[in-house]
Each structure stands twice: as C-alpha cells, then as structure tokens.
Chain A
Amino acid sequence: MSDKARDLCKARVAGRISRREFGKRITALGIGAAAADGLLQASYTRAMAASFDWMKYKGTTVKLLLNKHPYADAMIADLDAFRALTGMDVKYDIFPEDVYFDKVTAALSSRSSQYDAFMTGAYQTWQYGPAGWLVDMNEYLHDAGKTAPDYDFEDMLPNLRASDSWSGVPGAPLGGTGAKQWAIPWGFELYSISYNRNIFDQLKITPPENLPDLIEKATKITKDAGGPYGVGVRGSRSWATIHPGFLSGYTNYGARDFTVADGKLKSAVDSAESKAFHELWVKMIQEAGPKNWATYTWYQVGQDLGAGASGMIYDADILGYFMNGAGNKEAGHIGYTPIAPNPEAKGPTSNIWIWSLALSNFSNAKDAAWYFIQWATSKQHDMFGARKKDLVDPVRASVWADKVFQDRIAGSYPGYLETYKATAPDAKIYFTPQPLFFNVTTEWAAALQRMVAKEVAVSEGLDQLAATINRELRDAGIG
C-alpha cells in the first residue's frame, strides 16, 4: 500500500474525510473499489488495535458453539480479522438449527466447559440466565479495562439491547431495573410482509396494508392465481409459530400475553382484543393459508415463497431476503412491505428475534471469550457482515446508516429498507418474560391448530387455553 493510500485510510477511519471524498481520492490513486475496501477494513482493524490492548490474550483459543445460519457464515468469513487483531485462535462447532438448541441446553445443563461462547436467542436466555448458566455481560460492558473505548454499546438499537437483558423476575420488563445483560445482540429479524411481485402484478393487487385487507387479497390469490395459495405463516405445534407475524399482529390489536399484578402473572389470551385478532388470524389460514399449515415452520413458509407456491408471507423480513437470492425460482421477484394489521393502529408493532452471543458461566476462558464477543458485535464486524455478507438485519444504528450497505440492499432488494424503516421504531420483544415461555407458547400453538381445524370455536378455545396457562403458572408458583 502506498503512503498516500495509507494516509487516506487513516483519515477516513479517524472521520476526517467523508466516505465520498475517500472514494474519489482513492480512485484517483488508481485503486479499485474492492481493493480500497480491503485497505479500509485493515485500517479499521489497526485502529481498533491501537486504542485497546487487543493482544492481551494472545495465544488463547476460544471455542464457540454456532448455529448453521448466514449470520454465522458471515462471522466465520471474517475470523481472520479477529485472529490478526488479537493473536487468539477461534475454534467452532457448527450444528444445524433443528438440533442446535438441544446441543446448547445439553452443554449448559451438564455444566460443560467445552464451549466458551455460543449463539442464542433472547427467549432461551430466560431459561439459561436465571439458571446460572450465563455470565452477566454488564460485568464486562462497564469495565473500561475489558471493553474497548470505541465499542459503543449505545450504538446498538435500544430495543435490542433491552430485549437481551432481564432481571429474572417473572413479568418484570426487559431491560428494566436490575436487569442483567444475558447476551449481546448480533443480528436480528423483524416481521413484515414479503410478497411475490409477479403474482400481485398479475392479479393487479397492491400489497396489503392491514389484516382484513391481507385476508381479502390472500383469498383472491388462492382463488385466482392458478395454483399458489394466498399467505404463508407458520403453524407447527411449537413456540416458533407464535413469535413471528402472529404475535406482531396480536400486539397490534392491543392484546397482551399476560397481565401482571402483585408479582403474579395471569394469562390474557382470553381478552376481547385477543379473541378479535384470533378470529381474523384463524379465518386467514382457513381461507388463504397452506393446506398443510399445521406442519409449517420457517422452512416451509420460506420455501413456498421462493418456489412461487405462495403469494406472500407474514414472517421474518430476512426470510423474504433469503428467498430473493439465487437458487430460488422467484429470485428477484420478491417485494417487501410493512404491515400494521389493525386498521386502527398507528403503525406496525413487530415482535423480534435476535441472534445474540452469550458467554458460558462454565467457560475457563471467560475474559478471552468476551474479547471475541466484543469483536463479533463490534461496528467493524457488523459493517463487514452487512456490506459483504448476509448479516441483515444488523444490530447497529451506524451500520443501518451506512451508504454502501443501503445501496447494496436498495439495488437488489427493493422495498426492504423502507419496510425496515417503517417497522423498526416499535419493533421489540412483546412477550412477557417468564420461565414457562416455551410451555405456554407451545400450548398456544396447539390451541391455534384446534381452532383452525374447527375442533373448537375461537372464543371457547381461548378460554380453555387461558385456564390451562393459569394452572401451569400456579403450579410454578408465579400465577
């Protein structure tokens, strides 16, 4: 690298020149965009190293447990930068998602020191954290000797930071008083509509704006599109059926999962708002959902959209993103739109899923593992993943504001950024944190299946569900 190019990179990293200015001047030096990007990345790494003793744990090896996910792929692709920065080595075990959390739970519950850090979701930390299996990251975040000065935790979207922290008191708000930071957000997803633009154009319909509108348009697709069904949503007997579009719409109708009074929880699934929403949701699936809805998980919902078998999905924005990629029949035909299911609502209220990194309490190299988590959730790596890989949605505000990332997404995924911007402000975890999360949501999914199969009327089914949940809460001493 010439001295001039090096000086330019230094100036850009220090924020003395704009990205546009940097681009113009580096091009004038005869350096192509890809090479310039590489030089800049290396400068960022050097800048990080200069401001903090990243080499403190040189020679240490950190072992990770990862889920097979594009976010993990993005991180693996950038591991050499971490090795160069810290002199540490990283080993990882990567398992398919179907079995991933079984592996995590087995490793933690057996107090295994095999893994130092691992990927997790926020809901899982409600079990792992209070059980004493995780390290409270506040210990590190508030220690200037252990956290780099430019780490900038505040740059992470506030709702994400809060969603990964909880006091462990059932019903206490996420990120509230006494909350422990059980995990650090790394990449996330929110819930909106991804639709097949060809089908919508063919039927001359516009993207849905609310749930009644969605039902009408989805029913039209099922009737008139010549094969594809209207809308794909998850339906298997699992918590994963409840947390995406379903809970986002449920919240938008003003319904909550629990009411909390005097530290005791009471199910609120039998409320009037809940019943109104369930009636519509059940009708939507009956009239315009997939035939085998009760078996549908993330995979089937996405696959149908990618293969042109469904007109739209109400699921993760990143699922629509992946289905727009090469290898799918409908690649390049997927559009994105925000949705506020309740016509009376001010805007969308999306629930979220956050892939986060957590530190095992049984690790023998906690401080070194924190260095890894710190790097993996840093601006530099978040930027790398967002610009060059599929780390969408990134967790940092500065990365969302990055022009290179925005241009990349706007060019290949039209409508994605706009959908994100409209959905993000009120996107957060809308579940009430409590230790019976998986039991309650599985019961909920089972009840939903019975309602869709017309084995029980919606109102009656919800009354029964509320009674079941309340009994479980009482048995656990929290209801």
Chain B
Amino acid sequence: MNYYATVNNTLEFIKENALIVGIIAAFCVVAITVGMWKVFQKAGKHPWMAVIPFARDYTLTEIGSTGLIGVLAYVILPILGIINLNGIRYFYDLNKGASKPIYAILFVLGTIFLAIALFFHVLSSIKLSNAFEKGTGFLIGLILLPPVFLLILGLDQSKYVRSVSTSLGLKASRAISNTLIYIVLVIMAIIWLVPFVCIVLQSFRTESTWSVGYVLPKQWGFQNYVDLWNSNFKRWYLNTFIIALIVAALQTIIVLCMSYTLSRFRFKLRKGLMQFMLILGMFPGMLTMIILYRVLKDLGLTESHAVPGLVLVYIASSGMGYYVSKGFFDTIPKSLDEAARVDGATRAQVLYKIILPLAKPIVIYTILTAFMAPWGDFVFAKYVSFEDPVGMNVAVGLWKWLTPDMINQRYTMFCAGGVIVAIPVAVLFMCLQKYYVEGVTGGAVKG
C-alpha cells in the first residue's frame, strides 16, 4: 500500500500540476542546454555536444577537469537513481497492495543517490564556473534550483508519512520522512551558504586585493582586517551601531506602548486610527524620501550630521509597526489586566509587570527587527550621508568600496567588512532565535 500511495501521490501531483511541472521541466532543459552550449563554445568544444546526453556529461568532466567527481556526478549517480526509481515502479506494478519495508528503504536509497548526484552537480558547476568567467557558474547554479524545489513538492511530507505508516511502524516512517526532509534541507542550506562561505574565505585572502575568479585563497592572513581597522570603516561601524542601538531602544518602547494601547484601551477613533495607519503603510516609504531629505537638510542633519538625522527617520514611523505585537497582546486575557488593576497596579505597572513578561517572545522580536532595519539600511542612509564619509553607515561605506575606481584596492577589505557586519546580527539571532520564531508565529495562534 505504501508504494502504491507514495508513487501514486507523486504521479497524481505531477498530473494535477502537469502544466506547471511541464513548464518548469522544459525551462530547466532549455536553460541547461543553452548554458552548456555557451560553455562548450567558450571551451572550444563542439557546442552540439550539449544536446547529446552522455557525450555532454563526458565533455563537462573534460572541460572542468573534475575527474572522478565529475564522472560520478554526471554519469553514474543519475543512472543509479533512475534505475532505482524504475525499480520502485516495478514493485508498485507487481505489488499493488502488498509491500514490505525493504521497498521503502530502496526508495529512500534511490532518493539519496539522486540527492548526492544533485549535490555533486552543484559542486562541479562551481568548479566549472571557476574554469571560466564567473557568471556562468551562477547561471548553472540558478538552473539547479528548480529541480530542488520540484523534489520538495514531489515528496510532500504528510502524504509520505501517511502512506508508509500503514505498513511500517510510526517510528520508522517518521525516520524515513525526516531523512528525506533533512536531505532536502541540507541541499538548500548549502546553496544558501555558498555566498557567505565565499565572502568569509575572500576576507582572509592576502595575495591580492581585487576580485578573482577562484574561491580558496592562495595566501591566508588577517591583513584585510588590519586594514579595515585603519580605515574609515571604524567610523561607519560606530555610526551604524549607535543608530541601531538607539533605534532598537526607542522603537521597541514606542511599538510596545502603541500595541498595548490599541489592544487594551477603547477610545474614539481607535478603529479609524488603525485603518488610517494601515492605508498609510501601503505607500512605499521611498515616496517620502525627497521631502524627508529636504526637512533633514533644513535641520542640518545631513552629510556629516547624518547620524541623528537617520535615527529620527527610522523611529519616526515606528508606531505603525504595531500589528504583530498587538496581535500577541490580544491573545493575553484582559482579565489579567483587570485583576492587576484591582490588585493596585497602574496601567504602566500592568504593562511591565504582567503583559511584557508574558509577551517576552514578541518583545525580543520587536527589539531584533528594530535593530536589524537600520543595521542593514542602505538606500536612505546613502541619500542622507551623501558623499560625506563621516556620516555614512556600513552599508553605504562598503558600497563605496565596490565602485569601479576602488574595487581593485578594496575588494578583500569589503569582504572582511561584510564579515564584521554580519557578526553581531548572527550572534543576536543565535541567542534569540527561539523567541524570534515564537514571536513571528505567536501572534497568530492563541497561546
């Protein structure tokens, strides 16, 4: 029953979404072929090789000089995977209804083979892209994304669990489905992590300062970080940190007070105010940029005085971000407020003695988002600081290093700067991720 159901579900899904699956598949095929065609042309191989299945794979291993990995990735593993899938269909035809756990294991093995094949595919794609100019590699990497998503869709977790659990124990079926999910997640994580790993590696490269076509540095060292310390970066970092810290503190207070007020008090125009803010929030913030710049300019808060100006801009509209925390506050019973007020608490005491301890996840979520927004802001910061390095934040400053006239001296420093910028945010998230997830989802579900 399990295979029948699993394969059937997958086939059913493809049938139901035939058009979309077809389009994605056709797109993949065309894109891969076109990509290969260009690659082969550049490598001086015959471009028609890109259309012939095994010849294509062989040529790829030749160009990328990927050796055994390439052969594994392009020839052997896919064949294994295909054989395995075919085997499953065979079992499904023979055993409609009757089946054994061993089939499930074979199926999982087949999927693992496919997954490994995909993994090597990505690896050798990177190798290939190194052998050529960058860009080709990105193209191929992107082409690889759709099949990954197809895999996720096709192996819809709940269907799998249901179908297998009838013949396998619940534990075994959960283990199998978890394995599948983890394989997919690991692949996605790798794809996600590639740029970060590249940046970290580049930041330790000392043999040259310009951007190069390979990932692993030939000479390692901390020179980039030392240079960073002696540059304007220190100033930018401090600017950003001050801005983010002040905004995180003030915005959190404003948002929480606003949410509490809208959640607990009933006053005239309360609904109207909320609707007004909802509509106001629909206009992109960029619309206000020119007038805000004008105002800040007249106040003298631009260029070298951009920091207080930016703080002002970031916290100005923070009250409008009340939705998530108001939703969370709404789930806390009002009788708690009332009990506390009867017990002798003022409204403010109710907020910080009763509501905030209960809404810890949402408080942390608010602090995090309030900190993150100015930390990573580029557009407005660039606009306000203009060309003055004293008023820049990290995003703008680092961007300056990527302009054509500076990139050759600053590229590796830029990478080092990127790493330094990422550290506090990463640490914050690692410490608080538990609350963050609760905060994002907490408002929706009554707790």
User: A and B bound?
Assistant: no
Interface residues of B (CB under 8 A from A): none
Interface residues of A (CB under 8 A from B): none
